[in-house]
Amino acid sequence: MIDSGHVDPDNKPAAALYTSLGFHPTGATEDDELVAELRPAA
């Protein structure tokens, strides 16, 4: 797992970019921002 850092939930374009690059929300939050991870291909 590679932690992407934080994504402001109000920043829809950034969230869409992370998703298009293969990142997935973990459900965790830190400092009111969403945490996403990139799962390496198996």
Query: Each residue of 1-42: pLDDT tens digit?
Result: 565 667 888 999 988 988 888 888 889 998 888 888 887 766
Alpha-helical (H) ranges within the chain are: 12-20
Q: Rounded to the nearest 5°, which phi and psi values hold at 26? A: -90, -15
Beta bridge partners of 2: 38
pLDDT of residue 2: 63
pLDDT of residue 13: 94
Give the range of the structural domain holding residue 29, as residue numbers without chain letter: 2-38
Q: Which of the 8 DSSP states describes residue 8? A: -
- Distance, C-alpha 32 to centroid of its chain: 13
Number of domains in the chain: 1
